Amino acid sequence: MPAISAGYVVQVGDNWTVALGAEAALGEFQRCVRDGNAIEQCLSLVGIYTIDMQVGYEWENGFGVLASVGYQQFLLEYVQDCRVGAAYVSGHCKNAGGVAGYRRTAEDTLEGWTYGAGIQQR
């Protein structure tokens, strides 16, 4: 997935840094599963969007600590494809011998907060 990133770092005082960043990874990663009844289910990861802030403190010897908090979204697409020889019944594809196919698509967004802490050495 190709990614686009943007960020800004501010030096606050002699040792403190604050970094703001945003990143978008766009493309499509798809995973499909097929069973023996001409039923195919695919889940596609379409994009990942992240925004975060880092605060760090660095001593004069290059050693430092940092903490980050961010917000992230995953955009997903779901396809359930009942091909010829399968039918769609009560939310599931079911073998129905020769019945014309059916296709159901849905989109979903997973989202949440990210947290982190670490050390650094330059």
Instruction: Let me know how long the chain is.
Output: 122
3-state SS assignment for residue 99: coil
Per the structure block, which two tokens stand in for 87?
A: 């039918």
Any idea which residue has 């940092």 for tokens?
66
∠ CA 64-68-71, rounded to 5°: 165
What distance in Å separates the CA atoms of residue 74 and residue 41, rounded to the nearest whole number?
A: 19
Walk along the chain (122 residues) and give the pLDDT tens digit of each residue: 789 999 999 988 889 999 999 999 998 888 888 766 566 788 899 999 999 999 999 998 889 999 999 999 999 998 877 765 555 555 555 555 545 556 778 899 999 999 999 998 87
What count of other Cβ atoms lies within 10 Å of the Cβ of residue 1? 12
The per-residue pLDDT for 103 is 72
3-state SS assignment for residue 103: strand
User: What is the pTM assigned to this prediction?
Assistant: 0.67
**What is the arrangement of strands in the sheet containing 102-121, beginning at the earlier edge strand?**
3-12, 16-34, 39-58, 63-82, 102-121
Q: State pLDDT tens for residues 89-101.
A: 555 555 555 455 5
